[in-house]
Structure formats: structure tokens, C-alpha cells
Amino acid sequence: MSQKKSFQGLILTLQEFWAAQGCVILQPYDMEVGAGTFHPATTLRALGPKPWKAAYVQPSRRPKDGRYGENPNRLQHYYQFQVILKPNPPNLQELYLASLKAIGVDLTLHDIRFVEDDWESPTLGAWGLGWECWCDGMEVSQFTYFQQVAGFECAPVAGELTYGLERLAMYVQGVENVYDLDFNGAEGPDRITYGDVFLQAEQEYSRHNFEAADTAMLFRQFTDAESACRSYLDAGEPEAGANSQRHRMAQPAYDQCIKASHVFNLLDARGVISVTERQSYILRVRELAKACGAAWLRTAAGGA
Amino acid sequence: MPDLLLELRSEEIPARMQRRAAEDLKKLVTDALVARGFLYEGAKAFSTPRRLALHIAGLPARGEAVREERRGPRVGAPEAAVQGFLKGAGLTSLDQATTVTDPKKGEFYLAVIERPGRETLDVLAELLPEIIKNFPWPKSMRWGAASAEPGSLRWVRPLQSIVATFGPETETPEVVPFTVGGITAGTVTYGHRFLAPEPIEVRRFDDYIQALERAKVVLDPERRKDVILHDARDLAFARGLDLVEDEGLLDEVSGLVEWPVVLMGSFDESFLDIPAEAIRATIRANQKCFVLRKSGSEDLAPAFILVSNLVASDGGQAITAGNERVVRARLSDAKFFWETDKATRLEDRLPKLDTIVFHEKLGTQGARIARIAALAKDLAPLVGADPELAERAARLAKADLVTEMVGEFPELQGLMGRKYATLQGHHESVCAAIEEHYKPVGPSDRVPSDPVSIAVALADKLDTLAGFWAIDEKPTGSKDPFALRRAALGVIRLILDRGLRLRLLEQVGAADRSLAGRAGADPQDLLGFFADRLKVYLRDQGARHDLIDAVFALPGQDDLLMVVRRVEALGQFLDTEDGKNLLAGYKRAANILRIEEKKDNRAYDAAPDSTLAAAGEPAEQALAEALAKARETASAAVAREDFSGAMQALSTLRAPVDAFFQDVTVNAPDPKLRENRLLLLNALRAATREVAEFSKIEG
């Protein structure tokens, strides 16, 4: 296996590719999130008039998708490679295709298709139009033109690309089971597979997510995060009589919104949230996201 | 005559929106041209995933000149009037106007304004940007740097280029000069994204469609469908298989490719243990591929047809292999669902339904099932079903909603339940009812015939209707989120197709009572809804809506089968001479009564005095006797549900009614006599009410 086709090689290639397009290459956000979109580099930076280009890997946690390491395609923890370009350049589709080429997808051999898929995140109060990108019938990326984030119109619109790294790597490597993925491209005893790195974690976290996660604690954490978010937003308001009307604590408040969202996902996986309650929890997180978005728009980076 | 070629090239348009968009484009442009007086010979619109195209043939090069005469003030009118006239007519001095002499009014000014016809090119340049800006996409978006400003162009996905040319066949056409959303119309487009990435210069429609074809784009969606269908059939045939045709899928797939390349993939035989419908659902929904049958058999073959958008350098091997991998993964999931589902009995799934909310205000699925089961049991004897079986079927009918398979493919609800119930060895009718209780879905779906299915199907629909009526969630306008119109039509079709005798008010009442604790539905209001749906349904079958109104206006009409029989009999009666004349006589009587009742400010609704009538004119006497007799006969016939008999009885009234109007003066000077004659007319009104409310009948 060439270094380039290994799981980590794939990440390095994508980083290089997007760095060459002028993106800042960021590191994963240091909190548990359900998708790369939650990273403030996407959610918050998508708001406001300032141009922004970034790319990063984001470990994504979907507690409900855990399968105790027994399903070859499903994971409760996986990686997304996220690219955000604001405003979207006119040739974003071409750039995306060039990135596929860079990671070794031969465009004269493979059938790449853009199939309608409108993206919506009810918890982030965000939506956009775009596609699932198919490679020979398999969805390998999401491609979205953000129209609204945190309840605010995106002006200008950002283009977001999300690569499902495991899927893409399985495709590039021709592997049927995610745990068989070549992680580091080394030979002999140095060879490391995805399973070597993550199989045990998948088993342990599935157990945790479905059986052990302390629900009483999680319910508490949800309320705590919710009220912390509100109080940080209050505390970040400009002092009375201050010259600047800028908000001063949008990002710490948003961290609490992320936290509430993840705690909700854990509670959902534990099956302790009924169908009707589910909606109200989602709404509560959305309210936080909206308030954080509003605060962000009153910061320097938000264009105020 | 010159032609217009318009192409709007964008990033990939959702397949489901392409056709409608092409039609909208054609309609908007041609309507706008016609509204400005520009007629054309023909127009055709096309769509691919990346473009909408429109060709309008035979437009004039310029519009017709308009000559308008505008009359001014009389000669010698005050200066202000003259100035106003000049300004309005666009003249600078009176020299440009002529004078005309009117024999009555004398001499006055006249301006002749001649406007030359506008260049079609200019008109197009004016109207095309407006149409593009206001295009009716079901969902549209903003994009790029321009989206920083409010009011930037919206399109379904980013619009990349516009071709707009106009000109006669023999000359080089001109570009329609306009710019919209920062895109200037020109003559350059692009072909297939991967197979022909170079720019293409186009002039007019003929060379456009050919150039696209060379650049691996089939512009006409119908042609793409043909190619897919024929290639798929041929490929299947060559392997001794039959294509399972699927028009909806074909439409969708033809909207996902510009250059269809049909390939065949296969999967492991062992997946054929999964029910065929589930295989088809997963391959169709997730992969947009067609399934295949073994030739001459109903059984699926372990193969599928995929439609790619690429002529690959390896002949499609990698593409096929890739699709096979995904299909394999999907079928593994489906197989897992199937095996998992089989391990749990449907009965054991019921507690789960108690935790699932059907509707906030209508309780859980479990509560709903209990209501449906009780109702199905009550309905069973009325439709010839075994009450115990009906109840059992109703209890199990929704259990498959919590199976893995239905969770993944909701369209398999009912069908999977039937499969699982059959495997468990449930009674055949119970198994059938689990699948069929959703039927009929819509006006052309099959109506179940097993009485157990009928009982559960009725119970399910009546519970839904009574429930949503009780919480006041009725359909309004085009909004019918709970598909209540479909439910009502389902009830109607069950009753009519299966000849069921059902007092709907009673059944609605029973369904309503089982919603204990909630505000009751207004059964009359719900019956009115049924009447409306019945009207729509019968109208589609050619019945007169006024006759349906005429029958529903009678009290207590909640037995739909009888309503329809009565409408039929009434229609036949009114087609006869007797019927037409009686209706005319009725109208005349009703008119007189209306006028006189208003004049006298009282109702003439008592029975006429027969002795008084007997003492009057012979025609009066004859009518009184005929009325009494006809009414009695009609009433008895209606009681026997012999509606043509009732009509027959009414038809005997024609001659006496005609004679009465000919010989008798209603408004006699003697008030007693006048009153009795009016009462006689009322008796006619009352007699007709035995069969229908004639006042609702038109004509």
C-alpha cells in the first residue's frame, strides 16, 4: 500500500490540496461534536460578511450509530474532512473534482454524480442546498451551499464540502470492512489498520453509549450547559456605557451549545428521550445556536 | 422567420425538478411574447441535469407597427387644454397635429401617433432577465460573492452561463443582449462534464443540439429515457432476464445523466431470501438501479441495471464493481433487518407502539390501534367478516411499523407485516388485512375484497377521520397533511365498490366515542366532508354534482350506497320527458311560492284542504288527488329502497301539474281559494322531497 492511499495519507493529501487553494488548515475542535459543521470554524465563520477559507479534519461522534465494532460500515466515531469557503468560489465543483483526482480517484474510470440532497441541521438552525456526491453509486461527500446558519441568512453564501474519510478510504483502498483499512501505509510489523486503532474504542463506546452513560448526569449536564450558555451570553454583553456595542464572549457561549447538543445525542442513544420530548430538546439547542450566532454577528470576526 | 435559442446552464438540477422547470420556462417565455403581441410557430423545451433549453421557432424579426389616433380639444380651446393634449400625444407643436371637422362639435385637433414595431431582439432582451429573476423553482438559492448583497439572483443551483441567440436560419443569429446576476448571455456552452470539457460555440438550435450530441449530451429527456429503456431491455434479454420496468425510476434516472450508459451488475444469490419488494426498495431508493426478473418468472434475478453517466476507459468495469459493492452493503443491511425482524413476533412488538406518539392530541399508536381494533370488531358483522378475526387483524396491522425493515423503507409498511404474519402462521385473512387495510390509496388503487380487510380498512380510515375532526385538523385548501381526503375517498370506494350498507353517522359516532375525553367531532360536518368527496368522486365518473347536492339536502343521508342509487335513479328520471316537465312544473310552483310567501310574509307549509280543492276547478281537484296518491306511493317505494319506483310515482304528477298551471289561476280573488292553491303547490314541493331536494337541481 502506498503511503498516499493509506488513511492518514488521504488526510495529508486533502490538507495539501486545500492549503494550495488558500485555506487555513486547522486542527479538530477540542470538543465532542456530531459533525464537522459544528466546529466554530464553520458554524460561526459562516456568519457575517468576512471572507473565510478553512479546511480541517473533525472527529465526529454519533452515539446512536455505534454497532459494537460488528458492522463493517457503521461507527459511532468517525472522521470528516471539512472544507469551508466563504464566499464560495464560482468553480467549487471543479475544485472538488480536482481534490478527488488528487487522492487517486481516476475520473475517466469512475462515475461521479451530484445527486440532490438538501442539507438541514435542525439543532443549528441551518440549511443549505447541494448534493450528495456519488462515486460509482456510493456517497463519498456532501456538498452544500449554506443559505442559513443559526437562523441568519448567510451573506455571502459559503460553500461547504464534507468528505466521509472512512468511506472514501475504503473506496480508494478497495476494502469492504472499515476495520481493514490501512491506516499508515507501512509494511510488515509497522503496518497499522483502522481496526488496530479504533476497534476496541468502538466496542467500549458502544457499550457506554447504549448501556452505561449516566443519564441522570447527562440530563444535569444538558441543563447546566444550557444555562451556562445563556449566562455567558449575558456576561459577554458590553458594559453599561461602553463605547463598543460588540459582544465579548460569543465563542465560549457557543462551546456550551455544542456541549448541550452532544449530551442530547447521548441521551437519545440511551433511549431516554421520547419522541415528543425529542423535538423540544432539538428546539432548545437551536435557541442556543441562534443566540450564539446573533452574538457572533456582533463581534469583530462576525463583521461588527 | 427567426428562431430563439435559450440555454440556462447551471450546476446539477435536482432530477425531480427538471421537467417542470423546462415546461415553466417555455410557458413563461411564450406567454410573455404573446402578451406583447409576438406570435410564434412552435416552441419546445428540454432539460438535462445541467441545463434548461428552449427553442422557439418562427418569431417575427420585429413586432407590428402600432398606429394610434388621439383626439384633442376643439380648435380655439384654451391654451392649457392644448398644451395638455400636445404633452399627452408627445407632440411639440400644433403643426404636428391635424384638424378634423365633426358635424356636431365643429373642428378639433387630432394627433396621429405611429409607433414602429419593436425589434424582437430588444423585447427578448427586456423580458428574458425578468423571467430568469423570477423563475418559479420549488426551492432556490443564492451563491458566490454576489450573495453578500440582498436581492442577488436566485436559481435552483448556481447558474453558470446563458446562451441566447436570435435570428433567421440563413444568417448568423445575433446574441440577445442582456446580463442577469452578473452573467452575460452569449454563444458559448459546455458539453459533458467529463467526456467533453471544452467550450462549444453555438449559433442556433440545429447546430446546438448536434454540437451537444458530439459533446456527449443528449438534450431531450425523452430520448435519454428511450436509450436507457432499450439498452436495459437488451442487456437483460442477452442474459435471459427481464427488466422490472419502473416509470418513476426511469424518469428520475434520466434526470441524473446527460449521456446514459447502461451497465449490469450482479449480487450474491443468497440475498434472494430477502423479500423481493425489499430488494427492489433498497436497490431503487438507495442506488437508483433497476431490478431484474428471471425470464418468464416472477422471481427476481441476482442482478441489477445501473445507469452511469460515463463512457469509462475500462468499459465500465470499475463503475460496475463499485456499484456492486454498494448494493452488496445495502442488501447485507436488508438481510440483517429481515433476519432480525423475523426473530420477534408481531404481537410482541405491540408494547413498543404504546410508547410512540401518533399525534400529540390523539395519543399513542397503541391507543390508536386499540380504537381501530374495537371499531373493526363492531364493523365486522356489517361487512360479513368474523369479528374476532377483524379485531386480531386490526391489532397486528400496525405492528410492522416498528420493524427494522419498515423503519428503513416506510413504503413497505403493511407488506412486510403480511410477510411476518404469514411466517408466524396467522389466519390467511388476518395476513391479508395487515397489508390491505391501507387500501385503497387513491382513486385507482385496488379495493380489498376480503371482508376482514374491509372491516380493518374502514376502521382505520374512520378512526383517522373522526380523530382529526375531533382535534379540528381538517384539510384546508391545498393543505391536507394527514391525507384525510384520501381516507374519505377510501371509505367511499370501499362502500361503493363492495356494496356496503353503512350508516356513516353511526360509525363516525362510534369512532368518535372511542376517542373518549376529547372534544367530539361534529358528525354532521364530517358527513358534509364525505358528501364533498363523494361529489368529486362521482363527478370524475360523469355524475351531475347538483343531483348529489339534491340528495344530500334531504335529512339523514348517511348511507352512501343509497345516496348513489338515488342519484342514479334521479338522473335517469330527469332524462325522461316526464322528469323534465315535472322539474319545470316544480320550479314554477317553487317560484310562485317564494314570491307569495315573501309578499305575505308567511310560509304556506300546511296541508291543503281537500274539500276546498274538490269544490274548485277540475284541474285543482285532479292535482290534489294525484299528489296525495303519488306522495304515498313514492314514500312507500323509498322505504323499500326502490328509487326508480319512487320516481315512477312522481312521474304521474306531470299531467295534473301541467293541467293545473294551464287551467287554474293561483292568485284567485277569493283569499281562501288562493291560500289553498298555494298550499297545493307546497304539496307538490313536499311530494318531490320524498326523493330529492328539487330546488338544488339545475336547469
The confidence score (pLDDT) of residue B427 equals 96
Record: contact B147-A154, CB cut-off 8 A: yes
CA neighbours closer than 13 Å in the CB half-sphere of residue A216: 0
Determine the residue of chain B that is closest to A116 in CA distance: B14
In 10 A of CB B146, how many CB atoms?
16
Residue B263 has pLDDT above 60, yes or no: yes
Q: Sorting pLDDT into bands at 50, 70 and 90, what band is B616?
A: confident
- d(Cα B261, Cα B312) in Å, to the nearest integer? 9
Q: Does B128 touch chain A if contact means CB atoms closer than 8 Å?
A: no
Tell whether the torsion through CA atoms of B591, B593, B599 and B601 is positive or negative: negative
Are A155 and B355 in contact (CB < 8 Å)? no
Burial of B119 (0-12, 13-18, 19+ CB in 10 A): middle
- Whether the ω angle into residue B656 lies within 30 degrees of 0, i.e. cis, is no
Question: At residue B392, does pLDDT exceed 70?
Answer: yes
Whole-number pLDDT of residue A280: 87
Closest CA to B205 of B162, B173, B160, B159: B173
- Residue B444: left (phi > 0), alpha (psi -120 to 50), or beta? alpha
Chains A and B form CB pairs within 8 A to the count of: 117
Average pLDDT over residues B277-300: 92
pLDDT at residue B423 tops 60? yes
Sequence-distant (≥ 6) Cβ neighbours of residue A184 within 8 angstroms: A6, A7, A8, A190, A191, A192
> Do you find a cis peptide bond into B60, omega within 30 degrees of 0?
no
Question: Measured between alpha carbons, how far is B299 from B478 in angstroms, rounded to an integer?
Answer: 41
Q: How confident is the model at residue B521 (pLDDT cuts 50, 70, 90)?
A: low
- The residues with which A245 forms a beta bridge, in sequence order, are none
CA A213 to centroid of chain Cα atoms:
23
pLDDT at B555: 86
> Does pLDDT of B518 surpass 60?
no
Sign of the alpha-carbon dihedral angle for B100, B104, B106, B108: negative
A136 close to B (CB below 8 A): yes
Task: Return the pLDDT at B97.
Answer: 82
Q: Which of B199-203, B323-327, B352-356, B571-575 has the lowest mean pLDDT?
A: B352-356
| pLDDT score of A1 more than 70 | no
**B313 close contact with A: CB closer than 8 A:** yes
The position carrying cell 459559503 is A158
Residue B293 makes CB contacts below 8 A (sequence gap 6+) with B241, B242, B243, B244, B299, B300, B301
Q: Are B22 and B167 contacting, i.e. CB atoms less than 8 angstroms apart?
A: no
Closest CA to B130 of B31, B55, B58: B31
Residue of B nearest to A98 (CA): B194
Mind listing the pLDDT tens digit for each residue in B433-457? 999 999 999 888 999 999 999 999 9
Supply angle C-alpha B299, B346, A68, rounded to 5: 85
- Tell whether B323 lies on the interface with A, counting CB pairs under 8 A: yes
Length of chain B: 699
Per the omega criterion (within 30 degrees of 0), is the bond before A87 cis? yes
Choose among A116, A6, A24: nearest CA to B13: A116
CA distances (Å), A139 to each of A118, B19, B330, B554, B699, in order?
Answer: 14, 25, 12, 61, 63
Which A residues, 46 through 65, put their C-beta within 8 Å of a C-beta on chain B?
49
pLDDT at A14 over 90: yes
Sign of the four-CA dihedral B483, B488, B491, B496: negative
| pLDDT confidence of residue B515 | 72
Grid cell listed for B436: 390491505
**CB spacing of B319 vs A88 below 8 angstroms:** no
DSSP, res A132: E
pLDDT at A147 over 70: yes
Q: Which segments of B309-372 are extended strands (E)?
A: 357-359, 363-364
The CA distances from residue A241 to A238, B310, B583, in Å, are 8, 65, 86
Residue A47: Cβ within 10 Å count = 29
User: CA-CA distance, A202 to A199, in Å (whole number)?
Assistant: 5
User: What are the tens digits of pLDDT across the range A229-267?
Assistant: 999 999 999 988 888 899 999 999 999 999 999 999 999
Cβ-Cβ contacts under 8 Å for B426 (sequence gap 6 or more): B392, B396
pLDDT of B194 strictly over 70: yes
Lowest mean pLDDT of A89-93, A122-126, B86-90, name the range: B86-90
What residue of B is the nearest CA neighbor of A176? B325
Domains in chain B with CATH codes: 3-61+119-214 (3.30.70), 66-115 (no CATH), 221-342 (no CATH), 347-529 (1.10.3210), 571-696 (1.10.730.10)
What is the per-residue pLDDT for B317? 95
Write phi, then psi, for B450 (nearest 5 degrees).
-70, 125
Give the cell for residue B115: 409607433
Report the alpha-carbon distance of residue B224 to residue B220 in Å, rounded.
Answer: 7
Q: What mean pLDDT do residues B683-689 have?
A: 89
Name residue, grid cell 473534482: A97
CB contacts, 8 Å: A104 with chain B? none
Q: Do B12 and A129 touch (CB under 8 A)?
A: no
The confidence score (pLDDT) of residue A85 equals 98
- What's the CA gap between A140 and A144, in Å, rounded? 13
Confidence of residue B516 (pLDDT cuts 50, 70, 90): low
Whether residue B194 lies within 8 A of chain A, CB to CB, comes out as: yes
Beta strand pairing call for A112-116 and A126-135: antiparallel
Q: In chain A, whose CA is at the least distance from the CA of B329? A: A73
Answer whether B319 touches A (CB < 8 Å): yes
ipTM: 0.94
Per CB-CB distance under 8 Å, the chain B contacts of A109 are 312-314, 318-319
Which residues does B269 contact at the CB level (< 8 Å), separation at least 6? B302
Question: Measured between alpha carbons, how far is B12 from A296 in angstroms, rounded to an integer?
Answer: 33
What are the helix and strand counts (H, E) for chain A? Answer: 8, 9
43-62 of B, contacting A, C-beta below 8 A: 49
Q: Return the pLDDT at A71.
A: 87
Note the CATH architecture for domain A214-296: Up-down Bundle (1.20)
Q: Which of A129, A135, A275 sits opposite B141 (nearest CB)?
A: A129
CA atoms within 13 A on the CB side of B622: 16
**What is the pLDDT at residue B234?**
96
What is the Cα–Cα distance from B634 to A205, expressed in whole angstroms? Answer: 80
Residue of A nearest to B252 (CA): A115
Q: Looking at A291-300, B377-386, B512-521, B528-537, which range is the least confident one?
A: B512-521
CB contact under 8 A, A116 and B14: yes
Q: Is the pLDDT of residue B362 over 90?
A: no
What is the rounded CA–CA span in Å between residue A30 and residue A59? 9
Q: Does A105 touch chain B (CB under 8 A)?
A: no
State the pTM of this model.
0.79
The secondary structure element, H or E, covering residue B175 is strand B174-175
In degrees and rounded to multiples of 5, residue B549 shows phi and psi of -60, -40
Residue with cell 450482479: B266
Q: What is the 3-state secondary structure (H, E, C) of B19-40?
A: HHHHHHHHHHHHHHHHHCCCCC
Q: Would you state the pLDDT for residue B105?
A: 73
From the list B340, B344, B365, B345, the residue with the least C-alpha distance to B354 is B365
Is the model's pLDDT at A143 over the cut of 90? yes
Q: Give CA–CA dist A6/B617, Å, rounded.
A: 111
User: Computed from CA positions of residues B577, B583, B589, B592, in that sequence, does the dihedral angle turn out positive or negative?
Assistant: negative
For residues B565 and B643, give the distance between their C-alpha atoms in angstroms, rounded to a whole number: 7
Reply yes or no on whether the pLDDT at A127 is more than 90.
yes
- Rounded CA-CA distance A89/B144 in Å is 6
**Which residues have C-beta within 8 Å of that of residue B400, sequence separation ≥ 6?**
B346, B349, B406, B413, B414, B416, B417, B420, B434
What is the grid cell recorded at A168? 472514501
pLDDT of residue B610: 79
pLDDT, mean over chain A: 94
The closest alpha carbon to B404, from B335, B323, B301, B322, belongs to B335
Write down the mean pLDDT value for chain B.
Answer: 91
Out of 3.20.20.330, 3.30.930.10, 3.40.50.1980, 3.30.470.10, which CATH number does the structure's domain A3-208 have?
3.30.930.10
Interface test with B, best of A75, A109, A161, A173 (most B CBs within 10 A): A109
- The domain limits of chain A are 3-208, 214-296
pLDDT of amino acid B170 = 79
